[in-house]
């Protein structure tokens, strides 16, 4: 194999590695990035009456709501009690506010 052929093979190998490496880096960064905050206007959030602050829950629509009910005290809250935000089993890929509430609230066991 002559020097020119070896050089060209090296270059094409680097290009292929680079092409493969970029998406993998992107996936790794996406996996590390925290989930986006759940918006109160998200259709699923609206359907369940989600609010960032339990004091703003629609008491007429959800008469069983109590001011003491917050996401941080919900069985479906995936964070620690001290976390300001954390994922919720109901809203996959999103974070909910620890002081938030929705009608799927279940008292933490
Ligand atoms: S299911 Fe629980 S943790 Fe999730 S948004 Fe509703 S109240 Fe908050």
Tell me which of 17 and 9 has the higher pLDDT.
9
Q: Tokens for 32?
A: 């590390």
| Structural domain span for residue 94 | 35-109
Q: In angstroms, what is the span from residue 40 Cα to ligand 1's centroid?
A: 12
* Residues 38 and 94: beta-carbon distance below 8 Å: yes
**Helix (H) or strand (E) run with residue 3 in it:** helix 3-32
User: Do 52 and 88 lie in a common domain?
Assistant: yes
Look at residue 81 in the predicted model and tell me its pLDDT.
86
Q: Is the pTM of this model over 0.85?
A: no
Total domain count for the chain?
A: 2
* Residues 64 and 107: beta-carbon distance below 8 Å: no
Substitution candidate for ligand 1 out of 37, 95, 102 with most atoms within 8 A of CB:
102
pLDDT in tens, 35-90: 899 999 999 999 999 999 999 999 999 999 999 999 999 999 999 989 999 999 99
User: Do 11 and 45 lie in a common domain?
Assistant: no
User: Do 25 and 40 lie in a common domain?
Assistant: no
Find tokens 């270059």 and name the residue.
11
The tally of CA atoms less than 13 A away on the side-chain side of residue 31 is 6
51 pocket-lining for ligand 1 (C-beta < 6 Å): no
User: Do 56 and 5 lie in a common domain?
Assistant: no
Look at residue 33 in the predicted model and tell me its pLDDT.
75
């Amino acid at each position: 194999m002559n020097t020119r052929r070896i050089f060209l093979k090296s270059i094409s190998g680097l290009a292929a590695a680079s092409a493969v490496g970029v998406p993998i880096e992107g996936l790794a960064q996406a996996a590390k990035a925290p989930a986006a905050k759940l918006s109160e206007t998200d259709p699923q959030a609206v359907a369940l009456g989600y609010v960032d602050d339990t004091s703003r829950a629609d008491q007429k629509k959800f008469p069983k709501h109590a001011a003491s009910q917050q996401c941080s005290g919900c069985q479906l809250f995936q964070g620690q009690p001290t976390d300001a935000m954390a994922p919720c089993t109901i809203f996959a890929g999103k974070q909910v506010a620890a002081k938030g509430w929705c009608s799927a609230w279940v008292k933490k066991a």
